[in-house]
Amino acid sequence: MGNEKERVAVIGAGSWGTALALVLADNGHPIQLWTRNERQKDEINDRHTNEKYLPGITLPDKIIAINSLEEALNGIETVVLAVPTKAIRETLREIIKFQLQPLTIVHVSKGIEPDSLLRISEMIDEEMPKRILKDIVVLSGPSHAEEVSLRHPTTVAVSSKNMEAAEKIQDLFMNQHFRVYTNPDLIGVEIGGALKNIIALAAGISDGLGFGDNAKAALITRGLAEISRLGTKMGANPLTFSGLAGIGDLIVTCTSVHSRNWRAGNMLGKGQKLEDVLMSMGMVVEGVRTTKAAYQLAQKYNCKMPITEILYQILFNDVNAKIAGERLMARLKTNEMEDLVDILSEQMEQL
Ligand SMILES: NC(=O)C1=CN([C@@H]2O[C@H](COP(=O)(O)OP(=O)(O)OC[C@H]3O[C@@H](n4cnc5c(N)ncnc54)[C@H](OP(=O)(O)O)[C@@H]3O)[C@@H](O)[C@H]2O)C=CC1
Ligand SMILES: O=C(CO)COP(=O)(O)O
């Protein structure tokens, strides 16, 4: 009895929820995996596969799929929330209808809400009554579900306002294939994960236009500069952007064919329309909505974000991708170290 591992609920049986359920099941945890799709529930329970989201992967018996949210949360203290950013509020509004003990919510989504400009932990804080919210932990980093489910070596960071809770989640997920670091910078970890999707869309467009590795390296490097610039203004530690949730995730998303953001960008670069691209993906492309949020944040914080701004024009104002790229290159000359000065002066102000 004493050796029984904690049961964990994973809410959302898309690629990431299912891959993380698999990591936890490998660690011996019985998993209550909630899906709103009846057919998918049967497929996971009867055939131990999730063909739409993780084709070819056999899921451990410890993962039980459940359609009822109430049942999935029964007796649970730790909830992994793995739905797209857009679905976070409505999912939480369903969750709080039930009789629950105080929950630790581990959110694994990568986005910022347009208009409210809230990070996901702030949205959770807003939606969850204090009596049923113990802690919020974010888990983020370079981690494509497709590779995690093959048990390929992967590293991520966890953060929380309560670092004891982050350490507990580190222990919950950590194993020989999945290495988890703690990072006390909650804002930086959330911002890094959300904003890299914008740069990945741009990198995909660049590849779709037929540009090469020079352009990709430029986007990654200057993308990191603008992520760090905005993130620091929002209160993040700039060092986080040199870590897993920063450059780590930026590299993997800009260079991997697994990335939905890169793939969507690639189709846009080849001339397809945004709505057609999103229809054909069948999975969430977080970077589109986050571009809108980051564009608004750049205005709010008076922060230069040329890649984000040009991507916004491509996505929402129908500016041709090739012309947009030319505009990006033709901006006024500048000094590469300008960012460093901006970031350092921001840090001085925060001291
Ligand atoms: N895939 C990856 O490798 C990684 C993804 N992430 C992040 O994880 C989050 C989830 O992504 P991912 O799993 O890949 O996305 P997918 O598109 O693969 O799956 C989304 C899941 O959320 C469900 N869902 C969608 N809308 C709603 C809704 N309104 N209410 C309830 N459930 C809903 C879907 O259900 P249904 O099938 O019924 O539509 C599906 O189970 C994103 O923020 C992403 O950035 C982070 C790291 C890695
Ligand atoms: O965040 C991810 C990898 O770390 C997944 O990126 P995509 O959403 O672009 O597939």
Pair (211, 337) in one structural domain: yes
Pair (285, 253) in one structural domain: yes
Q: Is 78 in the pocket of ligand 1 (CB under 6 A)?
A: no
Q: Is 149 in the pocket of ligand 2 (CB under 6 A)?
A: no
**How high is the pLDDT of residue 3?**
77
Q: Does the pTM exceed 0.95?
A: yes
| 149 part of a folded domain | yes
Pair (207, 170) in one structural domain: no
Q: How many CA atoms lie within 13 A of 261 on its CB side?
A: 28
Q: Report, as ranges of residue numbers, the positions in the chain whose pLDDT lies below 50.
A: 1
**How high is the pLDDT of residue 52?**
97
Pair (118, 227) in one structural domain: no
Q: Is 149 in the pocket of ligand 1 (CB under 6 A)?
A: no
Pair (94, 172) in one structural domain: yes
Ligand 2, closest atom to CA 110? 1
Pair (271, 142) in one structural domain: no
Ligand 1, closest atom to CA 109? 43
Pair (203, 327) in one structural domain: yes
User: Which of 184, 218, 237 lies at the terminal end of a domain, its last residue?
Assistant: 184
| 342 part of a folded domain | yes
Question: Which ligand sits nearest to residue 88's alpha carbon?
Answer: 1
**How high is the pLDDT of residue 157?**
98
Pair (209, 263) in one structural domain: yes
Pair (167, 208) in one structural domain: no
For the chain, how many structural domains are there in total? 2
Alpha-helix residue ranges (DSSP H) falling in the chain: 15-26, 38-42, 69-72, 85-95, 120-127, 145-148, 163-173, 186-208, 213-233, 249-255, 260-269, 274-281, 286-300, 306-316, 321-329, 338-350
- CATH number for position 282: 1.10.1040.10
| 252 part of a folded domain | yes
**How high is the pLDDT of residue 350?**
64
CA of 111 to the centre of ligand 1 (A): 12
Q: Is 233 considered catalytic here?
A: no
**How high is the pLDDT of residue 242?**
96
Per the CB < 8 A criterion, the answer to whether 194 and 118 are in contact is no
Q: Which domain holds residue 342?
A: 194-346
Nearest-Å Rg of the Cα atoms of the chain is: 20
**How high is the pLDDT of residue 336?**
87
| 34 part of a folded domain | yes
Give ipTM to 2 decimals: 0.99
